[in-house]
Amino acid sequence: MKKIFNRTFAWRQVTENTLFFPIVALSLILLFDFIFIPGFFSIENRDGNLHGSLIDIFRNGSTVMLLAIGMTLVIATGGVDLSVGATMAIAASVAGILMNPSALKNEVFFVTDPNYTFQPLWLVIVSALLVAILCGMWNGVLVAYMRIQPMVATLILMISGRGIAQLITNGLRVQITYRPYSFIGQGWIVLPFSLYIVAAVFAISWLLTRKTAIGMFIESVGTNFRSSFFSGIDEKKIKLLVYTFCGLCAGIAGLVASSNIKTSDANNIGLTTELDAILAVVIGGTAMKGGRFSLLASMVGALVMQAITQSMYAIGVPAFALQAIKAVVVILVILLYSEQVRTFVRGISASKKVV
Partner 1 sequence: MGSDGSIASQFFKRTIHNRQAHMSESDQSLLMMEGIGKAFPGVQALEDVSLTLRKGEILCLVGENGAGKSTLMKVLTGVDQPDSGKIIFDGREIQPKSPLEAQELGISTVYQEINLCTNLSVAENILLGREPHKAGRIDWAKTNALASATLHNLLGVDIDVTKPLGSYTVAIQQMVAIARALYVASAKILILDEPTSSLDEHETDQLFKVMKKLKNQGVGIIFITHFIGQVYEVSDRITVLRNGKLVGTYETAAISRVGLISKMIGRNLAEFDEMTKTKLESGKHIKSEALLQARGYGLTDAIQPLDLDLHAGEVVGFAGLLGSGRTETASILFGVDKPDTGSISINGKEVHDHSPLNSIKRGIALCPEDRKAAGIVDDLTVRENIVLAIQASKGWLKYMSLPEQYEIAEKYIELLNIATPSADQPVKNLSGGNQQKVILARWLATNPQVLILDEPTRGIDVGTKAEIQKLVLSLAEEGKACVFISSELEEVLRTSHRIVVLRERQKVAEFAGDVEESTIIHAIAGSEA
Shorter beta-carbon distance to partner 1: residue 76 or 256: 76
The residue type at 347: G
- Least Cβ distance, residue 224 to partner 1 (angstroms): 5
- Rounded Cα gap, residues 122 and 174, in angstroms: 19
Q: How far is the CB of 78 from partner 1 (least distance, A)?
A: 11
Q: Residue 194 Cβ, how far from partner 1 at the closest point, in Å?
A: 30
- Distances 125 to 98, 102, 104, 116 between C-alpha atoms, Å: 9, 19, 19, 16
Distance CA 299, CA 329 (A): 18
16/44 with CB nearer partner 1: 16
Minimum CB separation from partner 1 for residue 13, in Å?
Answer: 13
Distance from the Cα of residue 74 to its chain's centroid = 12
Q: How far is the CB of 233 from partner 1 (least distance, A)?
A: 5
Q: Give the residue with the Cβ less far from partner 1, 117 or 228.
A: 228
CB of 139 to partner 1, least distance (A): 21
CA dist., res. 172 & res. 250, Å (int): 22
Nearer to partner 1, 27 or 227 (CB): 227
Nearer residue to partner 1 within complex by CB, 105 or 226:
226
| Cβ 32 vs Cβ 311: under 8 Å | yes
Give contact residues for partner 1 (rule: CB under 8 A). Answer: 211-214, 216-217, 219-220, 223-224, 226-234, 291-292
Instruction: List Cα–Cα distances, 247 to 116, 132, 159, 303, 345, in angstroms.
Output: 29, 5, 15, 21, 38
Q: Which is closer to partner 1, CB of 179 or CB of 342?
A: 342
Question: What angle separates helix 193-210 from helix 295-314, to the nearest 10 degrees?
Answer: 150
Q: Is 187 exposed, middle or buried (0-12, 13-18, 19+ CB in 10 A)?
A: middle
